[in-house]
């Protein structure tokens, strides 16, 4: 991790402006950070934000991300927990995240499970992994909205646009209120309700960043539920 930070952080400092707010809300340890996903470049920018907030970042993310030449190498260095979709190992990743949170780690989760497919880059419906980690461990879920990574690497692009310097915008909100759900059995309905609250919190933060209102209904994807 030290080598990755030493190499990547100076590049990000050089190539981006930073508009970050809300880092003071992050707990010292043992929490889930749930964010929107707009670009294959945003894990680097989000890891930069979390690292500079004094917290070692760990990602719960698709194993295929490890195939990206630069991003994959950096994420491996952060101790990423890979999710192997549609396999028996998918749930193993979820329990690895639960164990990591109980040890005091910050686990970064993209609840959508993939890049948003919304044409205007609004969050889609979420998978239940972030809610399950939080309700299993009792840890807080901190919602985060990010914007700007799509200007560096648009979702359908293969090469980054490095100049002019782009702005990395990040907003952290208060912990999502899940207290009433923690008193209930961990049913599918409870997990879906917790997930909806998480996605609503992320969307509201993104509305503030973009100074726009999100559509009334979130887009959906056809991938099966894993985590």
* Tokens describing residue 121: 């880059």
Q: Could you tell me if 151 and 161 are in contact, meaning their C-beta atoms sit under 8 angstroms apart?
A: yes
22-48: average pLDDT: 95
How many CB atoms are located within 10 Å of the residue 207 CB? 14
pLDDT value of residue 104: 96
- Helix 2-15, helix 42-52: angle, nearest 10: 110
Q: Indicate if the pLDDT at residue 157 is higher than 90.
A: no
Q: Indicate if the pLDDT at residue 95 is higher than 80.
A: yes
Q: Indicate if the pLDDT at residue 202 is higher than 70.
A: yes
Question: Where is mean pLDDT largest: 17-26, 57-66, 215-224?
Answer: 17-26
In the chain, what are the domain boundaries?
A: 2-152+164-210
* Tokens describing residue 21: 């707010």
Q: Indicate if the pLDDT at residue 54 is higher than 70.
A: yes
How many CB atoms are located within 10 Å of the residue 147 CB? 22
d(C-alpha 108, C-alpha 73), whole Å: 17
Task: Name 136's Cβ contacts closer than 8 Å, sequence gap at least 6.
Answer: 98, 186
User: Pairing mode, if any, of strands 81-83 and 106-109?
Assistant: unpaired
Confidence band (pLDDT; 50, 70, 90) for 206? very high
8-18: average pLDDT: 86
DSSP string, 57-121: EEEEEEGGGGGSTTHHHHHHHTT-EEE-TTSTTHHHHHHHHHHHHHTT-EEEE-TTSS----TT-
Mean confidence (pLDDT) of the chain: 88
Q: Which CATH number fits domain 2-152+164-210: 1.10.287.180, 3.40.190.10, 3.30.1960.10, 3.40.1130.10?
A: 3.40.1130.10
Task: Please state which of the ranges 75-84, 96-105, 179-188 shows the lowest mean pLDDT.
Answer: 75-84
Q: Indicate if the pLDDT at residue 45 is higher than 70.
A: yes
Task: Name 208's Cβ contacts closer than 8 Å, sequence gap at least 6.
Answer: 145, 171
Q: Could you tell me if 109 and 34 are in contact, meaning their C-beta atoms sit under 8 angstroms apart?
A: yes
More confident call, 10 vs 126: 126
Q: Is 138 helix (H, G, I), strand (E, B) or coil?
A: coil
102-123: average pLDDT: 95
Prediction pTM value? 0.89
Residue among 171, 150, 200, 126 nearest 38 (CA): 150
């Amino acid at each position: 991790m030290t080598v990755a930070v030493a190499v990547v952080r100076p590049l990000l400092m050089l190539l981006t402006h930073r508009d970050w707010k809300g880092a003071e809300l992050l707990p010292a340890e043992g929490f889930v950070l749930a964010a929107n996903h707009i670009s294959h470049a945003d894990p680097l920018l989000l890891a930069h934000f979390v690292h500079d907030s004094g917290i070692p970042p760990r990602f719960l993310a698709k194993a295929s991300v490890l195939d990206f030449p630069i991003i994959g190498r950096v994420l491996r260095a952060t101790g990423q927990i890979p999710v192997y979709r549609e396999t028996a190992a998918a749930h193993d990743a979820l329990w690895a995240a639960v164990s990591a949170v109980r040890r005091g780690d910050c686990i970064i989760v993209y609840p959508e499970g993939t890049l948003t497919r919304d044409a205007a880059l609004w969050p889609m419906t979420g998978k239940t992994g972030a809610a399950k980690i939080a309700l299993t461990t009792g840890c807080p879920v901190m919602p985060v909205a990010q914007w700007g990574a799509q200007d560096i690497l648009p979702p359908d692009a293969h090469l980054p646009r490095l100049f002019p310097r782009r702005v990395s915008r990040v907003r952290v909100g208060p912990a999502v209120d899940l207290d009433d759900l923690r008193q209930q059995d961990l049913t599918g309905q409870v997990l879906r309700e917790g997930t909806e609250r998480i996605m609503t919190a992320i969307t509201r933060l993104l509305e503030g960043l973009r100074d726009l209102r999100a559509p009334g209904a979130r887009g959906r994807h056809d991938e099966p539920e894993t985590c």
